[in-house]
Amino acid sequence: MSNRESTALTDRFGRVINYLRLSVTDRCDFRCIYCMAEEMTFVPRQQLLTLEEMAFLGRAFVELGVSRIRLTGGEPLVRRNLMSLVRDLGNLDGLDELLLTTNGSRLDEVADELVAAGVNRINISLDSVQPRRFAEITRTGELHRVLKGIAAAQRAGIERVKINSVIMRGHNDDEIMPLLEFALERGLDISFIEEMPLGETGRDERKGELVSSEEVRQRIGEYYPLTSSNDSSPGPSRYYRIAGSDSRIGFISPNSHNFCESCNRVRVTCEGRLLLCLGNEHSVDLREVIRTSPGDMGVLKAAITRAMDIKPERHHFYETDQPQVVRFMNATGG
Ligand code: SAM
Ligand code: SF4
């Protein structure tokens, strides 16, 4: 029998929240140029939620009607003992999908275990298929390890493994077609993401380097006719198809197409801060709630429900010259 309460989480604008993105760490073995600065200060370990606290939090959200949880970060697979959290969440009655976003560098070692513990879908970031370029964009990453990770996810039986590619002018906008071909050849889905102005990453040229989804779509259209598709996913991708291929081609356009009106999600940072919007600072400290009233599910659920009243209507990326949010993406939970 399901533990879910009939009252779903609904905000002031009538949006139903059924999707949680949980950041399990802000640390990462990469330093992607659009996500982090070269030198980063990470959250001290004692300030992190424990894995048990994260599992408790996950249960609270599921009992409130959340049916999908995505584990993200930072790089989720660098969090020690992550598998125990995956197992706890994978066993939750009422959770339809447990998803993972990873840079893929360690996926080869754990893909089978993740699937056995209940992970249904995996997204892997890949912004270049050229080893040297890949190393430049990630600053520390090695392409061959990520390629092994992608293959391992497919071998482990994950349906619809998806590649996420952030396209930046002058960095990898000449790789739109190679990335697409990479996905098509392997039966992978792929989403092209517009870079968001989060955190001071040390790259001042971000706005000028923005490549819109529309431009990416047009460039692909010169080689393959794209057909708009009704496919949907928990995230904000709009999907297209290419005749003769099973791959879905997605576009995530936080700047050019504001998808706020259909927002169904909230985020929790690795410190237990509930973020109501990717592009705003409205938040509630759930770690404080959990540590003040340990084990009290009623208090936690009441705090989450109350938080719906401060979910902002929308974000305003690139409407000013300054990054609107000083948080880095790794702290936000991508
Ligand atoms: N480390 C994992 C990874 O890279 O997949 C998970 C966390 S990462 C923050 C999640 C996603 O956010 C990645 O697909 C990454 O490309 C994307 N991302 C990071 N910074 C971004 C930015 N400034 N704009 C748009 N997407 C960004
Ligand atoms: Fe790490 Fe992912 Fe951010 Fe790259 S995008 S630095 S892999 S958290």
Q: Where are the domains of the chain?
A: 9-331
Q: How far is the CA of 162 from the centre of ligand 1 (A)?
A: 13
Predicted local distance difference test score (pLDDT) of residue 171: 96
Residue nearest to atom 3 of ligand 2 (CA): 35
Strand partners, 91: none
Q: How far is the CA of 75 from the centre of ligand 2 (A)?
A: 6
Predicted local distance difference test score (pLDDT) of residue 6: 43
Predicted local distance difference test score (pLDDT) of residue 2: 45
CA of 193, nearest ligand number:
1
In a 3-state reduction of DSSP, which class is residue 22? Answer: strand
For 148-177, write each residue's pLDDT tens digit: 999 999 999 999 999 999 999 999 999 999
DSSP character string of 77-93: GGSTTHHHHHHHHHT-T
Predicted local distance difference test score (pLDDT) of residue 321: 54
Angle of CA points 20, 114, 67, to nearest 5°: 25
Q: What residues in the chain have per-residue pLDDT under 50?
A: 1-6, 323
Q: How far is the CA of 329 from the centre of ligand 1 (A)?
A: 7
Name the CATH topology of 9-331: TIM Barrel (3.20.20)
Q: How far is the CA of 106 from the centre of ligand 2 (A)?
A: 13
77 ligand 1 Cβ < 6 A: no
**Distance between CA atoms of 334 and 87, rounded to whole angstroms?**
22
Residue nearest to atom 25 of ligand 1 (CA): 195
330 ligand 1 Cβ < 6 A: yes
For 290-328, write each residue's pLDDT tens digit: 999 999 999 999 999 999 999 988 876 655 555 455 566
Q: How far is the CA of 174 from the centre of ligand 1 (A)?
A: 20
Predicted local distance difference test score (pLDDT) of residue 185: 97
Which protein residues touch ligand 2 with a CB less than 6 Å away?
A: 28, 30-32, 35-36, 73-75, 103, 125, 329-330
For 282-306, the three-class secondary structure string (H helix, E strand, C coil) is: CEEEHHHHHHHCCCCHHHHHHHHHH
